[in-house]
A and B are shown apart, each in its own frame.
Chain A
Amino acid sequence: MGNFLPSTEEQRRDMLQKIGVSSAAELYREIPADLRKKAADATGNMPKGVSEFEALAQLRELSGKNRVFDAIFRGAGAYWHHIPAVVSRVAAKEAFVTAYTPYQPEISQGILQTIFEYQTILCELTGMDAGNASVYDGATAAAEAAAMCRERNRKVTLLAGGLNPDSAETVKTYCFGANEPYAMVPNQGGRLDLAALKSALDDGVACLILQSPNYYGVIEDVPAIAGIVHAAGAKLVLSMNPIAMALLRSPGESGADVAIGDGQPLGIPLGFGGPYLGFMACKKEMVRKLPGRIVGQTADAQGRRCFVLTLQAREQHIRREKASSNICSNQALCALTAAAYCSAMGPQGMQEVARACYDNAHCLADRLGEIAGFGLLYPKAAFFHEFVTKCPVPAERVSKALEEKGILGGLPVEGGILWCATERNTISQIDALIDTVKAVIA
């Protein structure tokens, strides 16, 4: 019913006449007849179209079957943060939403400049020299980083035990594709086992992919790990939550060669897992190995500052089978959103958000720790805004009880429950959570 075809019947007749055919179907004469029949039967058997009004009603009904929780204490790769209204409005601007990749710089300066600003913000947060215009998400950023670090004689990717499981699985899938080896380095007490790391490193190792704070929330001793990895001639890829970067030692300060992660916490809604934002930044020496689009500053003939897609000799449309990656479409609008978020929050706002996450999470951990059986699984490890507690009853029971109160509790994981608190989690939400957990085990 809704078809978005502006030409009238009369106009279409004129057009057909100009082409010299009597129907649009004639334009398909190269397509074998039996293919045409099967395809027409298939569309004929699909549901009929409906008006915009009815379509929206159908989708609203579907959305109504999903539970929107009043409070979320679950992270594990997707974080419940406040999104400033101005950020949502900026991200909905029509020209940003509907434009293509900025291949025509003269009419795309707005997008190119936002990406340049995003790249700069990314460098500031990560302490790196250069970043790309985004990849699909944090998990594919890890896979792309592994490819970036591989050298002729160094092929093995080491995966830290605290790496988000989705990221680890994605790296493995990409390795399966590339016919390249990987190995896991286990954790010990919630953080990377340094002895195991040392024995895994040899002159065939290209990089270690480490996450800090790791999947279990624990802050790793990144400088020490960087020292060990570099001593073996390998590179360190560090995945880090961008909110944590506002407060904690940046990947650059910690000795990482490549910084990656998911930018979802920077103003991007939960959206049942996507679209999110994969970010990648690196030291100067590795810039030409970065995959994907990169925006650079230049000038026009009159010397006016402007921005263009640059270093394109790395990319698939030029290098074809020799490209560093096949990526072309990325997450540009999400990168724009993240840049707008960081600009609206500013350095002070970002640090306040990070500090509130830290304080709320520690408050929650302390309060849970007062309940018998809910002590920290890794009591000696420093954490940011996620942590694992033990759970003396099946974790499902805790989850169910919290759901009844409109609270999405922590994620059941091996050994207990992985909790998260952000700046959105108020003391009264924490009180309600604690009361419910107490009731479950009473």
Chain B
Amino acid sequence: MKLAFERSVPGRRGCRIPQTAAPQAKLDDALLRKAPPRLPELSEIDVSRHYSELERQVYGVNDGFYPLGSCTMKYNPAVNEQAASLEGFREVHPLQPAETAQGAIEALVRTKELLCSLVGMDEMTFAPAAGAHGEFLGLLLVKACLRSRGESGRTKIIVPDSAHGTNPATASMAGFTVVNIPSAPDGTVDLAALRAAVGPDTAGLMLTNPNTLGIFDKNILEITKIVHDAGGLCYYDGANMNAIMGAARPGDMGFDAVHLNLHKTFSTPHGGGGPGAGAVGCKAFLSEFLPNRLPVRKPDGSFGFADPAASVGSMKAFYGNFLVVIRALCYLTMLGGDGLKEASENAVLNANYLRVLLERELPAANEGFCMHEFVVSLDALKKETGVSAMDVAKSLIDGGMHPPTMYFPLIVHEALMFEPTETEGKETLDAAADAVLGILARAKADPGALHLAPATTPIGRPDEVGAARNPILRYEFTEEAK
């Protein structure tokens, strides 16, 4: 379809603003840009139709099943959006006096208190804008704490090879060296490898539990004890929290700090890549290092921001992605403690049901029950038919659903990772299983067809190698176009 620049008609106008009654002020020509930016010139109806056409080429959660593993694509309740668009939240300036923003700060404090109970932490900040940003803060807390103990020689962060890619990238950003340890065959932490890895240079461990294979690591208390005994701290990557609300708390597992992806577990939308919000909770001994402007309930019952004594500083401007936190608070309020527990139980139920439906043709990479997601390997199918995980994923698009996560975790060959979430009904899971099984049958009968999938979309598979080799990262204006 056309780009906005290709719809542009010279001289056409969209929004108009009234001319100001202020006198025209003197403006030195030397300060001006040479030519106006070449922005699209469109009327309002052009803009409206342009984005309507674009929206039709996007598959969202509201378009159908979206079992994208590790991403928790649950339904985003409509009322969340209404809450976030209340004028009293949307039109509040971040630097207006705290006494004129009491409701906003109270909302942050209320959300913090609910989430701290849920994950077993003592204090929480909403400063991080996303999960990766939360991980970064988590490791800064570890770093600041070790420094305050005079243990700057602890420079190594242990990361299992099944971890999300953000974990090692975060450890680097926080100035640590990464020690990758191999997982046991079921993706759980290899205790012997962990014991061998810890030592006087250990700063900490980053772990998600359930892990990226969807397995709850039953040795978790032993794992955190090994790290603590060696003098390190334990960081919980909360990306998989949707499996265990009301079933296990990171704080009770022995973790010292945790981030939560509000855009996964707490139903705020993903927005085509963001904005999310990465709340970071910690045990009391780390709270003095939290970022500035911590939302607090004051002794007199009012609300304000406080700067922790040994703060690591600022993670970003202001107080985090506030309107995202409002959506999460709306969700937390509707579900309540029991509802959150029920949500996780049903996420696990749905994942196991789908796993069992596929089991005969496509057994999960691990035996036993999974948590909220599971991984299958198409290695055997690929060897037999030449049909890859990618081919199956693309064929599922023609089957009317969003594909699962492909080629992750890295420790499973030809991996597909399914996370159905709790907000899907039984018949959706039945239909998805039928679609997957149908594709597997076709893979054996007519493998060539699958290489060409998807066939029902506006475009076929793009040339990604060409895109990286000769990057075209912006529209190039031609002579005729202005």
User: A310-354 toward B: CB 8 Å interface, digit per residue (1/0)?
Assistant: 111101111111110111111111101001101111111111110
Residues of A within 8 A of B130 (CB): 136, 327-330
Q: Which B residue's beta carbon lies closest to that of A351? A: B36
Residues of B within 8 A of A98 (CB): 60-62, 76, 269-270
**A214 on the B face (CB < 8 A):** no
Q: Are B58 and A108 neighbours in the complex by a CB distance under 8 Å?
A: yes
User: A136-174 toward B: CB 8 Å interface, digit per residue (1/0)?
Assistant: 111110000000000000000000000010110110111
Q: Are B168 and A321 neighbours in the complex by a CB distance under 8 Å?
A: yes
Q: Are B41 and A49 neighbours in the complex by a CB distance under 8 Å?
A: no
Q: Are B21 and A325 neighbours in the complex by a CB distance under 8 Å?
A: no
Q: Which of A13-21, A184-192, A434-442 contacts B (4 or more CB under 8 A)?
A: A13-21
Q: Which of B62, B101, B247, B252 has a CB less than 8 Å from the CB of A94?
A: B62
**A362 on the B face (CB < 8 A):** yes
Q: Which B residue's beta carbon lies closest to that of A173? A: B313
Q: Are B345 and A25 neighbours in the complex by a CB distance under 8 Å?
A: yes
Chain B: interface residue count, which band?
35 or more
CB contact list, A38-69 vs B, under 8 A: 38-40, 42-52, 54-56, 58-69
Q: Are B318 and A274 neighbours in the complex by a CB distance under 8 Å?
A: yes
**A308 on the B face (CB < 8 A):** yes
**A195 on the B face (CB < 8 A):** no
**A432 on the B face (CB < 8 A):** no
Q: Which B residue's beta carbon lies closest to that of A61? A: B103
Q: Which of A24, A99, A169, A322 has a CB less than 8 Å from the CB of B272?
A: A99
CB<8 Å pairs between A and B, sample of 15: A27-B369, A39-B341, A114-B54, A127-B33, A129-B474, A177-B140, A271-B90, A300-B459, A307-B462, A308-B464, A326-B169, A345-B39, A358-B25, A426-B20, A430-B22
How far apart are the CA atoms of A435 and B288 in the complex, in Å?
45
- The count of residues in chain A whose C-beta lies closer than 8 Å to any C-beta of chain B is 205
How far apart are the CA atoms of A94 and B64 in the complex, in Å?
12
How far apart are the CA atoms of A330 and B273 in the complex, in Å?
6
User: Which of B34, B129, B463 has the largest count of A CB atoms less than 10 A from its CB?
Assistant: B129
Q: Are B475 and A15 neighbours in the complex by a CB distance under 8 Å?
A: no
How far apart are the CA atoms of A1 and B333 in the complex, in Å?
9
Residues of A within 8 A of B394 (CB): 106
User: B118-150 toward A: CB 8 Å interface, digit per residue (1/0)?
Assistant: 101000000001111101100110010000000
Q: Are B473 and A287 neighbours in the complex by a CB distance under 8 Å?
A: yes
**B104 on the A face (CB < 8 A):** yes
**B334 on the A face (CB < 8 A):** yes
Per CB-CB distance, the 5 closest pairs between chain A and chain B, nearest first, are A273-B318, A46-B337, A63-B88, A65-B103, A49-B336
User: Which of A52, A179, A298, A351 has the largest count of B CB atoms less than 10 A from its CB?
Assistant: A298
Q: Which of A201-209, A228-236, A244-252, A368-376 contacts B (4 or more CB under 8 A)?
A: A244-252
How far apart are the CA atoms of A2 and B332 in the complex, in Å?
10
Instruction: State how many angstroms separate the Cβ of A61 from the closest Cβ of chain B.
Output: 8
How far apart are the CA atoms of A133 and B403 in the complex, in Å?
23
**B196 on the A face (CB < 8 A):** no
**A419 on the B face (CB < 8 A):** no
Instruction: State how many angstroms separate the Cβ of B261 from the closest Cβ of chain A.
Output: 8
Q: Which B residue's beta carbon lies closest to that of A105? A: B462
Q: Are A296 and B475 neighbours in the complex by a CB distance under 8 Å?
A: no
Q: Which of B103, B244, B246, B252 has a CB less than 8 Å from the CB of A64?
A: B103
CB contact list, A96-110 vs B, under 8 A: 96-110
Q: Are B423 and A104 neighbours in the complex by a CB distance under 8 Å?
A: no
**B478 on the A face (CB < 8 A):** no
Q: Which A residue's beta carbon lies closest to that of B64? A: A107
Given contacts A66-B89, A84-B15, A179-B175, 14 further A-B contacts (CB under 8 A): A15-B353, A97-B271, A97-B272, A98-B60, A119-B473, A127-B33, A136-B130, A271-B92, A271-B322, A310-B471, A326-B135, A334-B274, A345-B39, A347-B36
Instruction: State how many angstroms separate the Cβ of A86 from the closest Cβ of chain B.
Output: 5
Q: Which B residue's beta carbon lies closest to that of A179? A: B175
How far apart are the CA atoms of A390 and B298 in the complex, in Å?
33
**A95 on the B face (CB < 8 A):** yes
Q: Which of B15, B58, B261, B339 has a CB less than 8 Å from the CB of A95?
A: B58
Q: Are A333 and B37 neighbours in the complex by a CB distance under 8 Å?
A: no
Q: Are B348 and A2 neighbours in the complex by a CB distance under 8 Å?
A: no
Q: Which A residue's beta carbon lies closest to that of B461? A: A300
Residues of B within 8 A of A382 (CB): 28, 31
Instruction: State how many angstroms separate the Cβ of B26 from the closest Cβ of chain A.
Output: 8
